[in-house]
Amino acid sequence: MPVPEGSGFGVHNLPYGVFSQRGELPRVGVAIGEQVLDLAELASSGLLADRRWFAAGSLNAFMAAGRAVWQPTRDRVITLLTDMSYRDEVEPALYPMSDVELHMPFEVADYVDFYSSREHATNLGRILRPGGEPLLPNWTRLPVGYHGRAGTVVPSGTPIVRPRGQRKGEPEPVFGPTAKLDVEAEVGFVIGVPSALGRPVSTGAFRDHVFGFVLVNDWSARDIQAWEYQPLGPFLAKSFATSVSPWVVPVDALGAARVRPPEQDPEPLPYLRCDEPWGLDLTLRIELNGQVVSRPPFAGMYWTAPQQLAHATANGAALRTGDLMASGTVSGPRREQRGSLIELTWNGTEPLELPDGTKRVFLEDGDTVRVTATAPSPDVDPIGFGDVIGTVYPSPA
């Protein structure tokens, strides 16, 4: 199978998505090189086991089937793509990615966003709560998070309409289009197998429930946020749109990316302890109008995905297929590793000079933001997630 170098979609990746050709129904596919492999078609011709999972407009049914199905499906797809004897049957099920439309890959059940980068949390604390301790005392004890709005999670490419809202003004608050539209580059994991109400899920059960990872851009209106968030946290400043990548990278594709996460001091309570190394050596990249503004390193995240999962279910809250749990903004210790414009421009006080000479503090109408990421694979070609793209449109008059 020809896989062009740098596509991010070699045979060690095989991420799942939902695609359609003009005039046809959306169905499940796998990215390979610059092509999409149609799993519904392979199932129709008897090359894959169960058509119901793949002749569907979302990954949810397949995600709910669990590891006992995910693993043999992945093995089978690898065989179909690498064993020359299947070539004549497989080739008709391959479409150039440029000819298909990519859709929202899964139906989002609940959406949770964490706050797990120490660097991001420290920067935001300094900016929003100057004079106080940047990290509140709970931050090193538990993965802080909030519930977002599942219905406004959108696939890459969806236009982002500048939100309106209430912000602080003197002497009275004002209502209007945000003047501080921002991005947050994040990595999310997606629940496949549900859990029962009242039964916490341990860190060790992560692989039994989690289907894969996506890239996330948690668009944020900083002026609305700064006014509304105390004491209950983000609400309308973040619920207008959250973009995700079109491809869900299976947990099994990230084996070579796994690293030991940063030391945790103080040691977390027993329910948050995790024996396996679940740091992930992904490097994110944020482009603004085609120019790289940051390269946030995911390996430095303080709280890991299994710890977030264990915390989110510690009270017995049930998991549902399609739950999306995002990491929180990924920021590294260096300036050029910050995952949001509020950090990169220090709340607009230090404009960002782009390579083409333009300057930005926050996003302007017409700006396009693209978030990508790569992870090591056993091959020369790294693991990719595709793009998370969004262009800003003006608020309606």
Ligand X SMILES: O=C(O)/C=C/C(=O)CC(=O)CC(=O)O
Instruction: With contacts defined by CB under 5 A, name the span among 15-23, 177-185, 189-197, 344-352 that binds Ca ion.
Output: 177-185
Residue of the chain from 238, 295, 338, 370 that contacts Mg ion (CB under 5 A) = 238
State in angstroms the smallest separation of the CB of 312 from ligand X: 14
CA 98-101-102 angle, to 5 degrees, is 105
Q: Using the rule CB under 5 A, is 184 a contact of Ca ion?
A: yes
CB neighbourhood size of 54 (10 A) = 25
Name the one range near Mg ion by CB under 5 A: 81-89, 230-238, 287-295, 323-331: 230-238
Question: Virtual CA dihedral for 294, 298, 303, 305, nearest 10 degrees?
Answer: 130
103 in active site:
no
DSSP 168-205: --SSS-EEEE-S-EE--EEEEEEE-S---TT-PPPGGG
Cβ 32 vs Cβ 100: under 8 Å? no
Fill in the DSSP letter of residue 101: E
- Is the CB of 60 or the CB of 307 nearer to Ca ion? 307
In the window 157-196, what residues touch ligand X (CB under 6 A)?
A: 184
Asked if 218 interacts with Ca ion (CB under 5 A), we say yes
Instruction: Give which of ligand X, Ca ion, Mg ion, none residue 120 binds (C-beta under 5 to 8 Å, depending on kind).
Output: ligand X
What kind and span of H or E run contains 79? helix 67-82
* CB of 163 closer than 8 Å to CB of 240: yes
Distance in Å, CB of 327 to Mg ion, minimum: 13
- Does residue 113 belong to the site contacting ligand X (CB under 6 A)? yes
242: contact with Mg ion by CB under 5 A: yes
> Which of 30, 33, 35, 17 lies closest to 76, judged by CA?
30
CB-hemisphere CA count at 13 Å for 227? 17
Helix (H) / strand (E) element for 220: namely strand 220-221
**Binding-site annotation, residues for Ca(2+):** 113, 184, 186, 218
* # residues near ligand X by CB under 6 A: 14
Of the candidates 12, 120, 209, 311, the residue annotated as catalytic is 120
Binding mask 297-336 for ligand X (x = CB under 6 A): -------------------------------xx-------
209 binds ligand X (CB under 6 A): no
Q: Return the CA Rg of the chain.
A: 21
Q: Which residue number, 242 or 289, has a Cβ lying nearer to Mg ion?
A: 242
Q: Which residues make up the interface to ligand X (CB under 6 A)?
A: 113, 115, 120, 124-125, 128, 184, 218, 220, 229, 234, 238, 328-329
User: Which residues are the active-site residues?
Assistant: 120
